[in-house]
Structure 1
């Protein structure tokens, strides 16, 4: 990956999976990081890993700030985002990009006793994302600049059955949050990207990995995500193949055909 103008990037849900790999790849590209997640010990391990890798490569050590964050605690979201802002403001820096990535994949068919899991997913993936977007936009509006990145999912293309019903609905919801902001901010210095990842290996989808040939490695899938983010694309299905063409099929196939695909 070619080096680019250094930015300060805040990533939520950065302790594992896609968030952790984005941190690795953004750091390798020369960016500084503000990383948050519930598991602070995992963030400490990731920070040490990234700093060791930069030393081994003989490259400049990125600045990495970490904080614990539960995105379901609205007060804590604002507190942590503002604290990261102040960390870098002390050196005359700004938070240039915020990646709203934290999420859950729990779920059960509606009406089968799984309300607690469905509600937890809905609160984390949508209400939590709304809170993060509020905190991010508070920062970006004040500095009249920034890049908001919302991680949605290919499941947002269409309502999905059974245990995926609530998850898919939350991912459609966060995509609409991002699209609404992009509509509002068109032509202004604040940019908005929404990504629709397909099957990218992570802790969240370990069971799916056993059943689909479409799964790609975390490194490869996140590379496609990072490239789209760096280009500040309005939206992208990642990796583009097969997910860009499949998005059309998912949206428009007759329901009997769509059910067979799922």
Structure 2
């Protein structure tokens, strides 16, 4: 399978056979697990709800080459290394890690709901950093790998009210990815930052927008982008690629209404 963005670079196209996905018990994580299983990959799945993971693993066993699961709360940062090492050992190695576990809680800052905002940042940024540390330790030791960071279109520009902490957490995640890309350019360790727009999942339940993409189409676009291994991809590309560009320059009164 040719990976267009990577194949155009210094290293030849590869297929990532052994994939770890966090936040895999529901939403985009579950969707990606199902899509990669249909492609015959080996999967290491982590999430807080072990019962959900075990049910998912049973569903995927007929298609995936192998499925390993472990319970992981990414805010328990000391446990992330254990979980990644365990999944890697069960799969016989790891070629790709998808840092997907995330939280969509939030409240206007200073309105008495600080706990929701702090939990969002702890999960989406601190927890993600712990995952990046664990994944990169594996990749540096073996000399190759593909790190995928599931950020958000919300990372492009600071958003108001209940989205402020979420937006900031995803912006931090994107910046971590950019820093690693600069460091690892020209090496066999590839870093991809994915910025999904509105895709129909629990985290977007209740959002009223004409820009919502159904789950199946959104996940298909997500996996297609990941397989290309670009530095950055807005997903789905239409309308989010042009909207992401616009968000950088539009007046605040307009940008706040778009995301």
**1:51 equivalent among 31, 49, 61:** 61
Report the 3-state secondary structure (helix = DSSP H, G, I; strand = E; otherwise coil) of the residue aligned with 2:241. Answer: helix
**1:259 equivalent among 225, 237, 256:** 256
Which residue pairs with 1:33 in the alignment? 43
Which residue pairs with 1:69 in the alignment? 72
Mapped pair 1:19 → 2:22: no
> CA RMSD for the aligned pairs?
1.5
Pick closer, same or farther for the CA change 1:62–1:160 going to 2, 3 Å: same
Report the 3-state secondary structure (helix = DSSP H, G, I; strand = E; otherwise coil) of the residue aligned with 2:159. Answer: coil
5 Å matches for 1:177-216? Answer: 177-208=176-207, 211-216=208-213
Mapped pair 1:220 → 2:230: no
Kindly indicate whether the alpha-carbon contact (under 8 Å) linking 1:6 and 1:32 is maintained by their aligned counterparts in 2: no
Q: Tell me, which stretches of 5 or more residues in structure 1 are unaligned?
A: 55-60
In structure 2, distance between residues paired with 1:244 and 1:261: 13
Kindly indicate whether the alpha-carbon contact (under 8 Å) linking 2:42 and 2:91 is maintained by their aligned counterparts in 1: no
TM-score, normalising length: structure 2: 0.92
Pick closer, same or farther for the CA change 1:260–1:7 going to 2, 3 Å: closer
Kindly indicate whether the alpha-carbon contact (under 8 Å) linking 1:192 and 1:234 is maintained by their aligned counterparts in 2: yes
* Structure 1 position 88, deviation (Å): 2.7
Q: Tell me, which stretches of 5 or more residues in structure 2 are unaligned?
A: 3-13
In structure 2, distance between residues paired with 1:257 and 1:224: 27
Task: Report runs of 4+ in structure 1 exceeding 3 Å deviation.
Answer: 259-262
Query: Which structure: greater helix fraction?
Result: 1
In structure 1, distance between residues paired with 2:172 and 2:243: 20
**2:241 equivalent among 239, 244, 253:** 244
In structure 2, distance between residues paired with 1:260 and 1:41: 38
5 Å matches for 1:22-171? Answer: 22-52=32-62, 54=63, 61-89=64-92, 94-171=93-170
* Structure 1 position 87, deviation (Å): 1.8
Kindly indicate whether the alpha-carbon contact (under 8 Å) linking 2:44 and 2:87 is maintained by their aligned counterparts in 1: yes
Q: Which moved more, 1:101-110 or 1:248-257?
A: 248-257
TM-score, normalising length: structure 1: 0.91
How many equivalent residue pairs?
Answer: 248
